[in-house]
Amino acid sequence: MESNKTFTMIKPDAVANGHIGAILDKIIANGFKIIALKYTALNAEKAGEFYSVHKGRPFYNALVSFMSSGPIVAAILEKENAIEDYRKLIGATDPTKAEPGTIRNLFAKSIDANAVHGSDSDENAAIEGNFFFSAFERF
């Protein structure tokens, strides 16, 4: 399993609020290389599949509905220590608890509409990257 890659999505709230460019800029400025990039959308079925680890949690239905409410940007990022460094860059799940200067602190409005996704492990980064990208879409 590669430990130098993570997977991210710019969620529908951040896309709708015009933050795609600013978020990608912050990702690049913080030393991440973009390996794969896609502007796309999840339907409810696909969003449910992507977040199936959260099935049964009280926020699952709202999460699926939110994540399929509009277009998203999906990306695979590369950097040494990518998982941990990217989690640090995005900040806490609840943007009111996210450190100043983090992506969620700057661009998220609420715990459900929290601007970005970031993988939590090498294993999930690989699964999530494979969910969106074929071998021909990685550089």
* Distance between CA atoms of residues 35 and 29, nearest Å: 15
112 binds, among ligand IDP, Mg ion, none (CB under 5 to 8 A by kind): ligand IDP
Residues in region 104-123 near ligand IDP by CB under 6 A = 111-112, 114, 117, 120
CB of 33 or CB of 87, closer to ligand IDP = 87
- Footprint on residues 54-73 left by ligand IDP (CB under 6 A): 54, 59, 63
Q: Report the alpha-carbon angle 14-138-54, nearest 5.
A: 50
Q: CB of 113: closest distance to ligand IDP in angstroms?
A: 7
Instruction: Please give the sequence-ordered ranges of beta strands (E in DSSP) within the chain, or none if there are none.
Output: 5-10, 33-40, 72-78, 116-118
Position of tokens 């409410």? 69
Judged by CB under 6 A, does residue 102 bind ligand IDP? no
Q: What is the DSSP code (8-state) at residue 55?
A: T
Contact status, residue 105 vs residue 99, Cβ threshold 8 Å:
yes
97 DSSP assignment: G
Give the amino acid at 42: L
Footprint on residues 86-125 left by Mg ion (CB under 5 A): 120
Contacted by 34, from ligand IDP, Mg ion, none: CB < 5 to 8 Å by type: none
Which residues are at the interface with ligand IDP (CB under 6 A)? 54, 59, 63, 93, 111-112, 114, 117, 120
Which residues are at the interface with Mg ion (CB under 5 A)? 120
- Active site amino acids: 117
